[in-house]
């Protein structure tokens, strides 16, 4: 199969031409999920699956998971939770928004998984109000936490944001790569953002050294699950296109995308790579910032509308 073969689809991040990169690949943990072809954008370098899996096949995949993650991942994190990753995201948000512990504001955790980030939000900001959203029912880990409202919604649907309130903070951590239409997903998220609010995304970075060096062995390379992975250029362009679609030039926004090292425990890393015996010998809780190939994407909406030309 020629590597310069193109598809009729265009990049969902920047709307440019795609070329074939990986042909006939399968999900690494569910071998009957596939085969899939992965295309890369000739302009921004982002990648996506074409054609994407059907909604039925995705429903079957996620039905086999626990709270949004494969059973293997949930098992190896039960005795070694990777809370440091969510704390890093929260620290970054606090820094950029200048939040204080007693501040009153609203937030949305879109693709909340096991509720790790939502729990940190309620613990850190007891006067805030939040809604956690995901495809599966409310996790048991959130039982008894009345401050977190849970909404069971398919975030890949075009109308998923219609029943949700606007918020000062819209966070979506390790989710963007899972949705069928990352461009439409961004439009929905932006519609949920109040003036002066921030959209915070964490996702894989297809332009990272980790992606280039590891290729198909990159842990974020999960065909049929990670359906589209942006680069910094593609991410910024996608957010700008989404904002232009819903607001045009009526408001000026700040958009940033930067590589981010993520803290994982060595115990988790070794077990994630299959070295179970070695991983179990290491202590829990101790994490290190690692160049795993992650991308932080931020959009800040101005508090006051600024007219064009002023």
Q: What is the pLDDT of residues 229-278, one digit of tens each?
A: 999 999 999 999 999 998 876 678 899 999 999 998 888 877 777 777 77
End-to-end CA distance of the chain: 53
Do residues 287 and 263 touch, judged by C-beta distance below 8 A?
A: yes
Closest CA to 61 of 33, 19, 95: 33
Structure confidence at residue 1 (pLDDT)? 40
Return the pLDDT at 249.
66
pTM (2 decimals)? 0.92
**Could you give the CA distance from residue 192 to residue 160 in angstroms, rounded to a whole number?**
11
In percent, the amount of the chain with pLDDT more than 70 equals: 92
Of the two residues 163 and 69, the one the predictor is more confident about is 163
Mean pLDDT value across residues 75-89: 84
pLDDT computed for residue 4 by the predictor: 59
pLDDT at 306 over 50: no
Structure confidence at residue 281 as a pLDDT band (50, 70, 90): confident
CA distances from residue 47 to 160, 232, 257, 301 in whole angstroms, order as listed: 24, 12, 16, 27
pLDDT exceeds 90 at position 133: yes
pLDDT in tens, 187-203: 999 999 999 999 999 99
Tokens 């005795």, located at residue: 79
Q: 200-232 pLDDT, tens per residue?
A: 999 999 999 999 999 999 999 999 999 999 999
| Confidence grade of residue 69 (pLDDT, cut at 50, 70, 90) | low
- Encode pLDDT of 91-119 as tens digits: 999 999 999 999 999 999 999 999 999 99
Q: How many CB atoms lie within 10 A of CB 159?
A: 9
Q: How far apart are CA 171 and CA 155, in angstroms?
A: 13
The pLDDT of 283-309, averaged and rounded, is 81
* pLDDT score for 18: 97
Q: Using 50, 70 and 90 to split pLDDT, how confident is the model at 67?
A: low
**For the residues 145-174, what does the mean pLDDT come to?**
93
pLDDT tens for 22-58 read 999 999 888 899 999 999 999 999 999 999 999 889 8
Give, in words, the CATH class of 68-300.
alpha beta
pLDDT band at 308 (very low <50, low <70, confident <90, very high): very low
Taken in order 60, 115, 118, 210, is the CA torsion positive or negative?
negative
Question: What's the pLDDT score for residue 70?
Answer: 67
Domain positions in the chain are 68-300
């Amino acid at each position: 199969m020629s590597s310069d073969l193109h598809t009729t689809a265009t990049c969902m991040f920047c709307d440019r031409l795609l070329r074939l990169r990986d042909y006939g690949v399968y999900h690494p943990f569910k071998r009957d999920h596939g085969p899939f072809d992965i295309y890369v954008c000739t302009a921004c370098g982002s990648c996506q699956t074409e054609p994407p899996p059907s909604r039925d096949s995705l429903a079957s995949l996620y039905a086999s998971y626990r709270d949004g993650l494969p059973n293997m991942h949930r098992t190896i994190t039960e005795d070694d939770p990777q809370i440091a990753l969510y704390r890093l995201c929260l620290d970054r948000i606090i820094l950029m928004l200048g939040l204080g512990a007693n501040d009153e504001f609203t937030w949305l955790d879109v693709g909340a998984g096991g509720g790790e980030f939502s729990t940190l939000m309620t613990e850190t900001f007891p006067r805030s109000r939040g809604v956690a959203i995901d495809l599966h029912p409310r996790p048991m880990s959130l039982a008894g936490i009345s401050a977190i409202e849970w909404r069971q919604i398919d975030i890949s649907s075009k109308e998923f944001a219609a029943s949700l309130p606007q918020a000062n903070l819209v966070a979506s951590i390790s989710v963007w790569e899972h949705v069928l239409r990352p461009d439409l997903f961004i439009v929905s998220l932006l519609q949920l953002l109040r003036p002066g609010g921030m959209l915070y995304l964490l996702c894989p970075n297809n332009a990272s050294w980790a992606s280039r060096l590891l290729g198909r062995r990159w842990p974020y390379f999960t065909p049929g699950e990670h359906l589209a992975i942006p680069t910094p250029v593609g991410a910024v362009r996608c957010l700008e296109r989404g904002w232009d679609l819903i607001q045009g030039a009526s408001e000026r926004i700040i958009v940033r995308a930067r590589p981010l090292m993520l803290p994982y425990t060595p115990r988790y890393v070794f077990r994630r790579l299959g070295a179970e015996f070695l991983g179990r010998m290491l202590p829990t809780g101790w994490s290190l910032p690692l160049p795993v190939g992650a991308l932080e994407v931020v959009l800040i909406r101005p508090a006051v509308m600024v007219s064009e030309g002023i």
